[in-house]
């Protein structure tokens, strides 16, 4: 397919045409009726910006500081499960694209490539960690992150129990049904299924084995994620990890304040991309309340529904210090590998520049609630 990708929606269409059905459904779907999944996108797109004109916007600078480093823009590649299966050694390709663009990338615990493999490529990612019942496994992954030189640890806390994802159930199956899905995508089957071997679950290899099928991965998730976790466990991780620690999965202001009180260096306002509790708040709606509660105590990151550089500017105006992409970069990876990720980041950069120019912002720290249209005392949704 030679279709030109002009935006993230185009990359989604290309990813759907390239990925086997079960993988695309895993990437694209949310929980239950996908209400929150839709809200993430729709609420963010409904934010109205205040256009300003006749300002000197000839010199726009997107650079942003986070955890002692200057990044090209306040955007990173958030953790996406199984991304290593969307393209051949996909997370390695994504890490190289992120490094070339000078933006951070976070590798998921449940990625297709292991942390050691990605780090061996010369581009050490941030590492995203889940709590599981086996605290020895958690400790060993923290040790590995330290050994390979990870700068930042992201602790995801909104998956004490897995959400019910109907699309995964409908697309599941093995045998002839799975074979038919693979044969329907010969490009992916050759590039990833054959040339991308060995296919495994990366960081989970010590537990599920080197050739565990996706069904084993899902069974492991259901059996091993720990509903007993509490803030005491966060304190335990804090004691194990001396670098920046980000808590991901915060929607409530009280939880944001608790994260600060328990040693976090930042949070990600996130509902897991609408993949956990359906019917909960969109991140665009939750973000201002959480940012107000934190009052600058530490950086506030956000994800969920971000499909453009315009959306990035909206999130910054709503109170975020940094924005993580999820499906946006995964669609691009699935469509065109690392080249697609690099292009998607260039699109985000270009779209941010237009949005900033037409709201009279030339620096990231100039983006605030004053660029939002107001209805009474509230930004318009």
Just list the catalytic residues. Answer: 272
| DSSP line for 3-32 | ----SHHHHHHHHHHHS-HHHHHHHH--ST
Distance of CA 73 to CAs 104, 214, 219, Å?
10, 35, 38
Task: Using only the alpha carbons of the chain, give its radius of gyration.
Answer: 20
Strand, coil or helix: 258: helix
Residue 128, C-beta contacts closer than 8 angstroms, at least 6 positions apart: 79, 106, 107, 108, 109, 153, 154, 155, 156, 248
Cis peptide bond prior to 198, omega within 30° of 0: yes
Q: Are the beta carbons of 369 and 317 closer than 8 angstroms?
A: yes
| Beta bridge partner(s), residue 265 | none
Q: Are the beta carbons of 82 and 57 closer than 8 angstroms?
A: no
Q: Which residue has the tokens 């959400």?
A: 163
Closest C-alpha to 162, from 227, 231, 82: 227
Rounded Cα distance, 24 and 106, in Å? 21
Strand, coil or helix: 75: strand
Classify each residue of 46-69 as buried b or exposed e, where b means 16 or more C-beta atoms within 10 Å of its C-beta.
ebebbeeeeeebeeeebebebbee
% helix, strand, coil for the chain, step of 5:
50, 15, 40
Report the greatest alpha carbon distance in the chain.
63
């Amino acid at each position: 397919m030679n279709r030109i990708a002009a935006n993230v929606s185009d990359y989604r269409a290309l990813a759907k045409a390239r990925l086997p059905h079960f993988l695309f459904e895993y990437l694209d779907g949310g929980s239950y009726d996908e209400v929150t999944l839709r809200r993430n996108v729709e609420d963010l797109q409904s934010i109205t910006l205040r256009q300003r004109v006749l300002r000197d916007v000839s010199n726009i600078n997107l650079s942003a500081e986070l955890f002692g480093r200057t990044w090209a823009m306040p955007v990173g590649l958030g953790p996406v499960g199984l991304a290593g299966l969307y393209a051949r050694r996909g997370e390695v390709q994504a890490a190289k694209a992120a490094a070339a663009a000078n933006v951070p990338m976070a590798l998921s615990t449940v990625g297709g490539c292991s942390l050691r493999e990605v780090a061996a490529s010369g581009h050490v990612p941030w590492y995203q960690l889940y709590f599981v019942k086996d605290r020895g496994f958690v400790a060993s992954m923290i040790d590995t992150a330290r050994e390979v030189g990870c700068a930042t640890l992201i602790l995801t806390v909104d998956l004490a129990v897995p959400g019910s994802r109907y699309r995964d159930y409908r697309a599941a199956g093995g045998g002839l049904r799975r074979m038919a899905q693979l044969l329907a995508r010969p490009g992916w089957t050759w590039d990833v299924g054959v040339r991308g071997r060995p296919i495994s679950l990366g960081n989970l290899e010590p537990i599920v084995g080197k050739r565990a099928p996706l069904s084993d991965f899902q069974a492991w998730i259901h059996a091993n994620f720990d509903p007993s976790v509490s803030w005491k466990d966060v304190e335990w991780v804090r004691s194990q990890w001396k670098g920046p620690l980000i808590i991901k999965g915060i929607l409530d202001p009280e939880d944001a304040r608790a994260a600060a009180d328990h040693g976090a260096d930042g949070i990600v306002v996130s509902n897991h991309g609408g993949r956990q509790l359906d019917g909960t708040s969109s991140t665009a709606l939750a973000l201002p309340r959480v940012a107000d509660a934190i009052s600058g105590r530490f950086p506030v990151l956000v994800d969920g529904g971000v499909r453009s550089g315009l959306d990035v500017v909206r999130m910054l105006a709503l109170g975020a210090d940094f924005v993580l992409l999820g499906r946006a970069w995964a669609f691009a990876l699935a469509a065109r590998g690392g080249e697609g990720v690099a292009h998607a980041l260039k699109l985000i950069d270009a779209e941010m520049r237009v949005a900033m120019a037409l709201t009279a912002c030339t620096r990231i720290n100039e983006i605030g609630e004053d660029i939002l249209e107001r209805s009474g005392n509230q930004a318009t949704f």
